Structure 1
Amino acid sequence: MNSDASRDFSRLSPLFRAPGTGPTLDVLGVTHSYKAMASDTGQQFSVWESIVPPGRGAPAHTHTREDEAFYVLSGEVLVEVEGATDPLRLGTGAFLFAPRHRRHGYRNVGTDTARLLVLAMPGGGLDRMFAAFDELGKRSGHKPAIETIAAIAEQYGVVIHPPAD
């Protein structure tokens, strides 16, 4: 049984991370600085700061297992999300909830690095997928092909959509 009632949340410890601390992953050129991983929260959620250089972001993709929420701490990102008629331009202070089964992707369209606070519920699969992307980048030393990224993502219930022509 995998319901909340079957989990013993009393075994979780409070978690504190000072600024600039916590696990960090390079996810296809975007730094994820974790505030809490799913392993810290009884697999309920993950929270990380995405540090997004200009021109970088996440390709269009669909989560089959997780909901995601984005809060822009600084900078500006252009988000394409299924259900919106036009891409959304999110600046500092903007918030977006992207439910599972809705295609979405984003790109930093500004000239400065963008910083996003991202919440994934649950987060364990994404944590492992991002760790796999980080490891792939370290092994290959260059940006992997979209087919390789898609094959890894598929293992974690994430569908990568090819770029539009």
Structure 2
Amino acid sequence: MSHTPVITRSGEGALLDILGTRTRFLCSAEQTDNAWSLMEVTLPKHSGAPPHAHPWGEAYYVVAGEVGFLVDGKPQRLAAGDFLFAPANTEHAFEGLSEEPARVIIFDAPAHAGGFFREVDQHVKAMPDDLGKMLEIGARHGVRFSPPADAQGAPRP
């Protein structure tokens, strides 16, 4: 692991806009020898990630607002101060629920999310037009998207 301290000040860090969701990297995979990464995600109401799974774990800490999660088909509503851990290969989804954008700190280990998010930021601009691109990027990074909720009858977050 890297032995170089990392300090990311307010307003610093790589900032990505992923379909209206702002993602700021507080500590990237490159800074931890791919051991883990840490992101601050701002979720406007109804923005977020559809049901998916991947071979790394993710932890979510809600800093502000409310976020709806779907974890292994079970809906969960988390508010500021709440925490959720989704182990590797757990199907999960999330979306902002509050009128004011929610803020969430996301920790992934081992670090894999950064490469996926950077590619999506560069190549996916509008859904459903760019769905094929999203699925291809996901496949390259080990992200498996689930069929839409209405196709499988599962509740949305």
TM over 0.5: yes
Between the two proteins, the alignment pairs up a number of residues equal to 149
Q: 1:76 aligns with which of 66, 82, 89?
A: 66
Unaligned runs of 5+ in 1: 1-8
1:134 pairs with 2:118: no
Structure 1-normalised TM-score? 0.85
Aligned to 1:96: 84
Partner of 2:37: 46
Contact 1:12 1:40 in 2 (8 A): no
Q: Distance in 1 between matches of 2:86 and 2:35?
A: 17
Alignment of 1:1-165 (within 5 A): 9=1, 11-64=2-55, 66-82=56-72, 86-123=74-111, 125-137=112-124, 141-143=125-127, 144-165=129-150
Residue 3 of structure 1 is matched in structure 2 by: none
Q: Is the 8 A contact 1:98 1:104 kept in 2?
A: yes
Deviation at 1:100, TM superposition (A): 0.8
Q: What is the deviation of 1:151?
A: 1.6
Q: CA deviation at 1:17?
A: 1.0
Deviation per CA, 1:34-69: give whole Å up to 9, x if none.
1000000111100010011111010100012x1000
Runs of 4 or more, structure 1, over 6 Å off, are none
- The answer to whether the 8 Å contact 2:19/2:126 transfers is no
8 Å contact 2:53–2:91 — kept in the other structure? Answer: yes
CA contact (8 A) 1:52 1:114 kept: yes
**CA distance in structure 2 between the partners assigned to 1:121 and 1:87 by the alignment:** 23
Query: Gaps spanning 5+ residues in structure 2: where?
Result: 151-157
**What's the % identity of the aligned pairs?**
32
TM-score, normalised by the number of residues in structure 2 = 0.89
Larger Rg: 1
Partners of 2:17 and 2:120 in 1: how far apart? 7
Structure 1 counterpart of 2:100, one-letter code: D
Letter in 2 for 1:70: Y
